[in-house]
Structure 1
Amino acid sequence: MKKIVLIILGFILGALAMYFYCVNNQTTDNMTETPTPKGVISPAEITALTQAYNPRYDTISNTIFRGIPGGDNRSSWYSLEDLRNYLTIAEKQVNDLKYNMDGVRLYLGAHPAVGNTPGYTTLLFVPTGTPMTSEGNMLNLALQKGDGSPDIPGGPGFDHGGQGDPPGANYPQ
């Protein structure tokens, strides 16, 4: 008799556990709200940051781009399709290099001069991550220094976004 009671109790506890697991799983699957990533800023903050850049931009434009209409490029535009495709390609290629890609770093760069016209400023995307290790670990307890992982050596970069119109136009365009 004790064995039957324990079996029935086990079934009831198992059914309750499955019920709560399925209900929790369904509410997680039905969540449509995307969490806000750190670093999202308001248009007012964008304006403040771009205005704070004005003295640097003026120095570059007044020295290197003197006499060139529009000045240096102040922004870069990339299509969502190109960004998504780049991230997919970069993840595949760094996986082949035995790295785990966990982000991208943006570098300021400049295209080569064409004749007497200096090259415009551009943004370069570079994949970041950590080497794959063969040691199994359920938790990633690696402490990172600074913000983000190091650049992945040999990882593909991304460039050639559209420039501002005119190149020196400030936010918003």
Structure 2
Amino acid sequence: MPSMKKASYVLIGIIIGALATYFFCPRLPENYNDKIVKPKGLITPAEAKELNYNWTKTRKKAVDSAAGKVDDRSSSWSLSDIENYLAYAKNQSDSLGYDMTGIRVYLGVYPGNAPNGKADYTTMFIVPTGKKSVSEASIMDIMLPPPTSDLPVNPLNDGSGSGDGYPQ
């Protein structure tokens, strides 16, 4: 039969082992179990090419003729610009008392006096959408989908435009 002194050494050893395991073994990150969710509305690259081809076939001539030149037909932003903008827009929406629920992409045309050779070219810009935050629940919120509208947050513009179509 082990003595009380030997049992206390075993107990201290177990405690030290548990603490060492806790502090020195790697832990999984908090978002380890987060799953990547496939968004609604995805299309294949072939479908995107067809949509672009249809735009070219039915709109390009009219747009270029109205602009008097080959107009921009796309805008692109870096991934970091998009991520930063979404975080900025969400923060601004929250601070203004809105729930940001999405984004909307608009077409626009730069004015004739725009700098950097952008005058009269088409542009696209992103606007956050959502609704006014409501502090109290209401039966109407359950019955009707919440209306969304453009939020009073600065839109994102200044993507790099291109007159080229979708890559073939």
TM-score (norm 1): 0.68
Moved over 6 A (4+): none
Q: Does 2:63 align with 1:60?
A: yes
C-alpha distance after superposition, 1:112-151 (max 9, x if no partner): 12489852111111111111112047xx636338xx8211
Alignment match, 1:169: 164
Cα gap change, 1:118/1:56 in structure 2, threshold over 3 Å: closer, same or farther? farther
Q: How far off is 1:63 after superposition?
A: 2.8
Q: How far off is 1:50 after superposition?
A: 0.7
CA contact (8 A) 1:95 1:101 kept: yes
Q: How far off is 1:32 after superposition?
A: 6.0
Identity of aligned residues (%): 34
Q: How far off is 1:96 after superposition?
A: 1.5
CA contact (8 A) 2:99 2:133 kept: yes
Moved more, 32-41 or 101-110: 32-41
Q: How far off is 1:111 after superposition?
A: 1.1
- Give the paired residue count: 134
Cα gap change, 1:134/1:33 in structure 2, threshold over 3 Å: closer, same or farther? closer
Q: Distance in 2 between matches of 1:91 and 1:46?
A: 29
Query: 1:34 corresponds to which letter in structure 2?
Result: I
Q: Distance in 2 between matches of 1:93 and 1:30?
A: 28
Query: Max radius of gyration: which structure?
Result: 2
Structure 1 unpaired stretches of 5+: 1-25
CA contact (8 A) 1:104 1:128 kept: yes
Query: 1:171 corresponds to which letter in structure 2?
Result: Y
CA contact (8 A) 1:61 1:72 kept: yes
Q: Does 2:133 align with 1:132?
A: yes
TM-score (norm 2): 0.70
Q: Distance in 1 between matches of 2:84 and 2:90?
A: 10
State which of 33, 50, 53 in structure 2 corresponds to 1:51.
53
Cα gap change, 1:117/1:88 in structure 2, threshold over 3 Å: closer, same or farther? closer
Alignment match, 2:145: 144
Structure 2 unpaired stretches of 5+: 1-27
Matches within 5 A, 1:1-173: 31=33, 33-54=35-56, 55-65=58-68, 68=69, 71-114=70-113, 118-136=119-137, 141=142, 143-144=144-145, 149-152=148-151, 154-164=152-162, 168-172=163-167
Q: Distance in 1 between matches of 2:125 and 2:78?
A: 14
Q: Note the aligned Cα RMSD (angstroms).
A: 2.7
